[in-house]
Structure 1
Amino acid sequence: MSVDMRALTDDYIAIIGTSCRFPGVSSAAEFWELLKDGRSVVPGKLERVDEFDPSFFGVSPREAAAMDPQQRLALELAWEALEDSGIAPLSLQGRSAGVFVGAMWDDYAMLTHRQAPAAVGQHAMTGLARSIIANRVSYALGLRGPSITVDTGQSSSLVAVHQAAQALRTGECTLALAGGVNLALAPESAERSEKFGGLSPDGECRTFDAQANGYVRGEGGGIVVLKRLSDALADRDRILCVIRGSAVNNDGGGPGLTVPHQAAQEEVIGLACARAGIDPAAVQYVELHGTGTRVGDRIEAAALGTAFGRERPSGNPLRIGSVKTNLGHLEGAAGVAGLIKAVLSIRYRLIPASLNFTEPPADIPLNSLRLRVQTELGPWPREADSLVAGVSSFGMGGTNAHVIVEEAPEGSGLVAEGAGVAPSVVPSVVPWVVSGRGVGALRAQAGRLLSHVGGGVSLVDVGWSLAGRAALEDRAVVVGSSGEELVAGLEALARGESAPGLIAGGAVGGRLAVLFSGQGSQRLGMGRELYERFPVFAEAFDAACVALDAELGAGVGVRGVVFGSEAGLLDRTVFTQAALFAVEVALFRLVESLGVRP
């Protein structure tokens, strides 16, 4: 992003965190591996959608049984996205944070009413209503901003992202969670899709290919965490990507209610580029709606060629691809899946392959449209320029959405592995903090962390990230100066055993207090290492010593006594108490600078 654009940072929206769940994929990191390796999970199903930890979100088991699994999935994705952004979810209670979730099916309600009508009880209305998907997240996290479940058909989740960005720009909220969920649970919804005529009979999605014959239904969901770019920069957030502009429109009287309209698609792309203040020729890649239907692909290609290709040199075609070839069509969550793919592609500066493409049909003249399907993992076409992508999502009723995203501005804290703002001083001993709701959950968290801290991790980065997570009721801290010590402590915690450097217990209610030790705890050199490593400690210690020296008038400075070699001098009461006071004040200022407030 060029410097002259910084004045527009209130209009631009920063993506500071993501989460996603697809068949065989439980994180953005795993999603990138799937994309990078060119793998497909079509026609997979999301496993264990019946499993849920209700107590974690304050939900009773009876109420959880009545909840649409899409609500449960949205809760988990929202929590994980916030943690990915470095925000402890419970820290947002009472804040003006919005939730915008796209969803289009009511399969669980259909199953409940058909198979277990006797189970319809007091929790059925909130458990089965689609509107509650977003509301449940807002309630569980105590968020006071807009809370909206969006249903515009297959474009629902990208429309949700657009609405979230608009709410941030107008000040309706200061942070937003946006995305979508999609679970295909009832045979009836599959039958409707089949009779609609869009499904691939051979179970493959071949976007823009001559053999394209429809889409395959997919399951999963994704959430992105959004802030105004100005706020994200001020908060020193890790910025994954920037939404420069977006637009939503409708086909409105096209050739048919469910037939895509080329002019409307061209219009929504043009509006998004105009709002982003960007020349369409500067867009290097577009993540397609790309269902793999003959009519839909032909119209989308023509619209892209007109909107993006007219001013583009023949030797610089627009790269295009569709995540539906990897995941299938996530329907209400399709748009956010494409958006997260685009974000990851920009973050890692590589464009993954769009699968199952050999050659286009005769009615999609890619060369004359200045389009090229990305058929292998490769670099961006103009890496020297700022990386810019478009993302399209179209609903069967004609509601179209397009989002323009760009790489993060320089100096935003983004690095290749996604590290946040690192501590300015690296300690010699590192704490890893783990918490959970229940001892079993605490041990499980330790086991899960063990699987992620193999060779090559930064001990400080892991500790930094863990410290920003929610502090739940059952807690433990593992302290060590090496990876071996920290891993040994985690292993003991996972087994429910004790170990050196491991402290575990439960949080108790009440206000935080600080206790200063009394005479007898003094020793020569106490605080020296902290003095040398932490300026805030040194400044507070020096200030205390100056004030004490002026009062004592003993001819020997307190700092000289503490850092000296005469234990007998330090053991004299006048110096013992002065030295302990100076060290403890400095210790207090140090922990205060880290956010501890008694």
Structure 2
Amino acid sequence: MTTPDSSVAVVGLSCRLPGHIRSPQAFWDALVTGRDLVTDHTDAHPRADILPAAILTETEQGFDAAHFGFSPTEVAAMDPQQQMLLELVDEAFQDAGMALTDWRGKRVGLWVGSSCLDQALLRLGPGQGGTMVDTAGALPSMLANRLSRHRLIDWRGPSEALDTACSASLVAAHRAHQALLTGEVDLAVVASANTLRLDTHTRMFAASRVLSDDGCVHPFDQGGSGFVRGEGGGALILQRTADCPTTGTRPRALVAASLTNCDGAGAPIGTPNVAGQIDLLTRTYAQAGLAPDQVDYVEGHATGTAAGDAAESRALGRVLGRARPEGEPLLVGGVKPNVGHLEGGAGLIALIKVVLSLEHGVIPPTIHHTHPLPALQRMGLQVPTTARPWPQREHTPTAGVSAFGFGGTNAHLILQQAPPAPNPPSAHSDEDQAPHLIPLSASSTAALAQSAGLWSAAMGQAGSVRQVAATAAHRRDHHHGARAVVLADSAPQAAQAWDAAAQGRTHLSLAGPRRPAHKPLVVFVYPGHGAHPATLSGHHGLEAEPVFTQALERARLAAFLESDQGEAAGLARVQPAQWAWQVAATALLASWGVRPDVVVGHSLGELAAAHTAGVLTLHEAALVVAQRSRLLEQTAPKGELLATSLDPARAQELVRSLPTVAVASINAANATVLSGPIGELDLLADQLAKSGVWTRRISDAPPAHGPLVADQAEQLPDLVKTIRPRPATTALWSTATAARAQGPEWDAAYWGRQLRSPVLLHKTVRALAEQERPVVVVEVGARSVLASALASTLAQAQRRYEVDPPLVCTDGPAAPRENLLMALGQLYTFGLNPSWPTPSTPTAAPLPLRAWTHHSSAAPQNANQVVELSALETERARTVITERVTALVRGLLPQGSALPQGDAVLAEAGLGSLALAHLHIQLIHQLPDLAGLPAHVVHQATTMSALVKAITQFWAPAHLAHS
């Protein structure tokens, strides 16, 4: 008998079957209600040549190419089985509560069972196929490697495609089971798919008289005349049961034993061999140590053919049925009446059915069984035709699954019910009531909206918000093309926010949805005076964050020790408190995985920037803050600041004749701040108001960066002369010079000049935003004072920032901790991958599967007609070459990728050697005058412009030589 310590568990399932079945739960609902998913024959049906059959609709067969990064050209050449398998394996990991990316580069084995040759016949037949793109897309041998070698998957264990005809996927499950038992892999994935694109096999099966006469499968029934074909697929994840606690996975069933064999020469090929089946069953149950009466149910191969069902009945009766106690027949059934015969994928679908049956404790009905074979009762077998509870006996609920290959390769697996999961703690902790971030990623904003709708409906049954957040953060993948996040402390709040995302509405608890940038440049901007906490404690709700509170206390202590006045008041107290809050918030964000690539400070904020960049130690920054704020306190009675909507030129012209007034700060193209005496600023405010210029007095701010602080600017260097600035470890930009700083130049003299010089925030941020790499700007302050100016500058710098500028503020309408959490969520939607503050929980919450964005697999329109370049004028021919290269490159790029322009590197855009080989061959096909084009001309070009130039240069001399 298998024990939990030595067993293998099924931990994840997925399936795609006719009847809009996209999940194991939907499959189970179809099974227990006895649905027949076969499409009857009708001449008007577009696929009438294969009907009756259980077929997928066009919508059900779509593929999310953008999610997996495939180009239209690759998709057009790909076997639909490959496409289905990619999505099914992804869904199985979601079902298991494991992030697929967590297993990249690991010893994961993949076994794919399939016997479908349709794509190979379509793409590689006579006169077909031209490149490795076609070959990789059509060969059955590529079914496993298309997944294992995908950049998002990258598995290093065995990767095998198996074809033993109708037993292929169950043989694959056996191989996976054995690999786990021997330690060959740490995780095993079994998958299968079957698509019906040609009528070749349908005609062959019809000629062999194994297809059902009435379009129904009648298993173990006197009326059984054969099977109907079926489409679909499934995936299953196996793991050693002992490893489940480590990964937090939940065993859904245990694999007690598995074996395969061959029928041998006892019967002609294609004919079932009872002796071979008896041998397989006998040895498999002996391996498991199970007596016949310890087996409750067997999911048979059950094709509905007279010869097949008769042989299977005799074998089951001989090994398991006739040896049972009186009144306890062996229950047998089959799934083919529901979903048709999935051929190479049939065994795995049957296996999934049994896992679900054990999990629910119910044996579903076997439909279309009305006249049992006379031998069943004699063999101790019975076919349940209504759903019935699993038999309650002293042993662990146990079931077998059989699959028999056309050529004689057989497989049998034994499954047992998994022990019940431990009950979760009933008491709610404080963390259950606290707000948590719930992130969601999907391939497109449309798919995200669909997913959000599913999540909204599931929030009430998915568990505590903490468990939902932990599952979403740690057990789902986040590398997709659209992101959103919800901050909630209750299921109703989360449901409302996700419903808003589904409906395209805003919500206070919702960030996004957005299309994230790839590796954005993170710019921290530390605001100056005015960004201090509303209360000088300033951390309501942040007591639960020791990283913040400890950093805050260290900074406050340093500022107090560096002050020569002891406990300060006024500005001398407010500004150090603001700096300390910024230092603490930076530490907290770092603990959440958010570290800046660039730091910028506005006036006082440059002290936080200097410390973050490693230029000043905590005590050195505290010294400058303390002395600077004490000096500014002296100037507070003399003047203040006036914010205006003036552009810099008008502001400079306005103050030119006023010796005591200066432009203190240029925050945006139409946002300048003036510094000067209170009386003069009042007069200017009145004057500007009459001219229609917006103004606002900043009466609590000292007249920094203006003439009134000239004396203090001269005194400051001597008071902080002990500082020893170091080279910046993070890129540091000065708003006094609007240029990047190295660090050592930020000495005592710099801080004197900085106090008097205008703040050039607009010029600094615009320079950063105009770089090719997208930016995301974070205003780090307890209060946001620069948001509108930063947003304006971002929108002016890049058109892509006009609608939704990549700006995040650490304040907001909620308590400080919630505001910082929402800032983290916003950063996630802009492209950052944080270290989520909600830790992983021992088990996953049952969240719905992510929705896909399905598109047609039609070939791209690349103007494939042949053009004779020699018949064109030279300039026109060069234009045609450029157009063809551009069209082909566009078709080879991953969906959603921008066409590389000019000197953009082709490899970085996703064009590898395989894509370039396809490009080379297609160019020759479409432009025969390039027939002698060497492959190296294409492969050695690193950029788009170099590629077009090299091909044109090859053609031009050859053309001129023959003209």
When the two structures are superposed, what TM-score results if normalisation uses the length of structure 2? 0.53
Shift, 1:423, TM fit: 9.3
The match for 1:22 among 17, 23, 47 is 17
Structure 1 CA distance for aligned equivalents of residues 560 and 423 of structure 2: 53
1:324 Cα deviation after fit: 0.8
Equivalent residue pairs, number: 563
**2:459–2:494 CA contact under 8 A, matched in 1:** no
The 8 Å contact of residues 386 and 406 in structure 1, kept in 2 or not, is answered as yes
Mark the CA change 1:339 to 1:582 in structure 2 (over 3 Å): closer, same or farther: same
State the match for 1:70 in structure 2.
81
List alignment gaps of at least 5 residues for structure 2. 39-52, 562-568, 593-834, 841-963
Cross-structure match for 1:51? 62
Distance in 1 (CA, whole Å) between partners of 2:453 and 2:167 is 38
1:104 and 1:151 in contact (8 A); partners too? yes
**Aligned to 1:243, what secondary structure does the other structure show?**
strand
The counterpart of 1:323, out of the listed 304, 320, 335, is: 335
Answer whether contact 1:516 1:584 (CA < 8 A) is retained: no
Q: Distance in 2 between matches of 1:77 and 1:368?
A: 41
Q: 1:453 aligns with which of 419, 438, 458?
A: 458
Partner of 1:189: 201
| More displaced 10-residue stretch of structure 1: 19-28 or 382-391 | 382-391
**Conserved? CA contact 1:284–1:382, under 8 Å:** no
Displacement of 1:109: 2.5
Amino acid corresponding to residue 453 of structure 1 in structure 2: A
- Secondary structure at the residue paired with 1:426? helix
SS in 1 for 2:111: strand
Q: Give the letter for the 1:312 counterpart.
A: R
Query: Which residue does the alignment assign to 2:486?
Result: 478
1:428 aligns with 2:434: yes
Render the CA deviation track for 1:289-336: whole Å, top value 9, x for unaligned. 111111111111111111112431012111111011211111111000
Alignment RMSD, CA only?
A: 3.7
Q: Which residue of 2 aligns with 1:32?
A: 28
Matched with 2:397 is 387
Relative distance call for 1:67 and 1:549 in structure 2 (3 A) is closer
Q: Counterpart of 2:383?
A: 373
Q: Which deviations, in whole Å up to 9, do the C-alpha atoms of 1:398-420 show, x marking residues without a partner?
A: 11100011111355x599xxx9x
Which residue pairs with 1:493 in the alignment?
501
Alignment of 1:465 with 2:471, yes or no, is: yes
Q: Helix, strand or coil for the counterpart of 2:265?
A: coil
1:553-572 mapped onto 2 (5 Å cutoff): none
TM superposition shift of 1:429 = 2.6
Q: Which amino acid aligns with 2:442?
A: G
1:113-128, aligned counterparts within 5 Å? 117=127, 120-128=130-138
What is aligned with 1:100?
A: 111
Match of 1:442 in 2: 448
- Taking a change above 3 Å as real, the CA distance of residues 512 and 171 of structure 1, as seen in their structure-2 partners, is farther
- The one of 155, 162, 172 equivalent to 1:160 is 172
**Matched letter for residue 86 of structure 1:** G
Q: Secondary structure at the match of 1:253?
A: helix
| Shift in alpha-carbon separation, 1:586–1:76, aligned structure 2, 3 A | closer
Does residue 176 of structure 2 align to residue 180 of structure 1? no
* Stretch moving more, 143-152 or 235-244: 235-244
Give 3-state SS (helix, strand or coil) of 1:306's partner.
helix
* Structure 2 contact 257–414 (Cα < 8 Å) conserved: yes
Q: How far does the alpha carbon of each residue in 1:201-234 deviate from its partner, in whole angstroms, 9 at most, with x for none? A: 1001110112111111111111101111221233
Q: Is the 8 A contact 2:436 2:838 kept in 1?
A: no
Q: CA deviation at 1:32?
A: 0.6
The 10-residue stretch of structure 1 (505-514 or 391-400) with the greater mean CA deviation from structure 2: 505-514
Contact 1:220 1:330 in 2 (8 A): yes
- From 348, 354, 358, give the equivalent of 2:370: 358
In structure 2, the CA distance between the partners of 1:577 and 1:65, relative to structure 1 (3 Å rule), is closer
Aligned to 2:100: 89
Amino acid at match of 1:247: L
Supply the AA of the counterpart residue of 1:369.
M
Contact 1:522–1:576 (Cα < 8 Å) also in 2:
no
- Superposed CA deviations along residues 123-169 of structure 1, whole A, max 9, x for unmatched, are 11111100111111112211111111110000000000101111222
Matches within 5 A, 1:132-143: 132-140=142-150, 141-143=153-155
The letter for the 1-side match of 2:31 is: L
Secondary structure at 2:532 match in 1: coil
Query: 5 Å matches for 1:303-342?
Result: 303-342=315-354
Work out the CA distance in 1 between the residues paired with 2:524 and 2:322.
68
AA of the residue aligned to 2:213: P
**Code of the aligned partner of 2:373:** P
- Please tell me whether residue 245 in structure 1 is matched to residue 257 in structure 2: yes
Question: 2: CA distance between counterparts of 1:279 and 1:513?
Answer: 68
Q: 1:247 to 1:544 in 2, by over 3 A?
A: same
Q: Using a 3 Å threshold, how does the CA distance of structure 1 residues 523 and 317 change in structure 2: closer, same or farther? A: farther
Q: Which secondary structure state, in structure 1, belongs to the residue aligned with residue 14 of structure 2?
A: strand
Deviation at 1:51, TM superposition (A): 2.6
State the secondary structure of the residue aligned to 1:123.
Answer: helix
Q: Distance in 2 between matches of 1:85 and 1:423?
A: 25
C-alpha contact 2:438 2:487 (8 A) present in aligned 1: yes
Contact kept in structure 1, 2:77 and 2:137, CA below 8 Å:
yes
Contact 1:527 1:583 in 2 (8 A): no
Structure 2: distance between partners of 1:219 and 1:392: 19
Tell me the residue number matched to 2:868: none
Change (3 A) 1:404 1:513: farther
Rounded Cα–Cα distance in structure 1 between residues aligned with 2:223 and 2:88: 35
Contact in 1 for aligned 2:112/2:144 (Cα 8 Å): yes
Distance in 2 (alpha carbons) for counterparts of 1:80 and 1:334: 19
- Contact 1:238/1:414, CA 8 A, preserved across alignment: no
Match of 1:80 among 91, 101, 104: 91
Name the counterpart of 1:559: none
Q: Is the partner of 1:385 in helix, strand or coil?
A: coil
Partners in 1 of 2:429 and 2:129 — Cα distance? 53
Structure 1 window deviating more from structure 2 (275-284 vs 70-79): it is: 275-284
Gaps (5+ residues) in structure 1?
A: 555-566
- The answer to whether the 8 A contact 2:487-2:494 is kept is yes
Distance 2:215 2:261 in 1: 31
Task: Provide the rounded CA distance (Å) in 2 between the counterparts of 1:208 and 1:524.
Answer: 80
Matches within 5 A, 1:384-423: 385-411=395-421
What code does the residue aligned with 1:57 have?
F
- Asked if 1 retains the 8 angstrom alpha-carbon contact of 2:460 and 2:492, the reply is no
Asked if the contact 2:438–2:485 (Cα under 8 Å) also holds between the matched residues in 1, the reply is yes
CA 1:524/1:229 → structure 2, altered by over 3 Å: closer, same or farther? farther
TM-fit CA distance, 1:359: 3.0
Partner of 2:938: none
Post-superposition Cα deviations, 1:154-189, rounded to whole Å, max 9, x if no partner, equal: 000000010111122222221111031111110111
**Structure number with bigger Rg:** 2
- Find 1:509's aligned residue among 512, 519, 534: 519
1:270 corresponds to which residue?
282
One-letter amino acid of the structure 2 residue matched with residue 97 of structure 1:
V
Question: CA–CA distance in 2 between the matches of 1:196 and 1:465?
Answer: 51
Counterpart secondary structure, 2:11: strand
Distance 1:227 1:206, change over 3 A: same
Q: Indicate if the aligned counterparts of 2:484 and 2:511 stay in contact, CA closer than 8 A.
A: yes
Take 2:439 and 2:836, find their aligned partners in 1: how far apart are those partners? Answer: 18
The residue matched to 2:432 in structure 1 has which SS? coil
Alignment check: 8 A CA contact 1:107 1:189 kept: no
Change (3 A) 1:152 1:447: same
Q: Structure 2: how far apart are the matches of 1:541 and 1:91?
A: 29
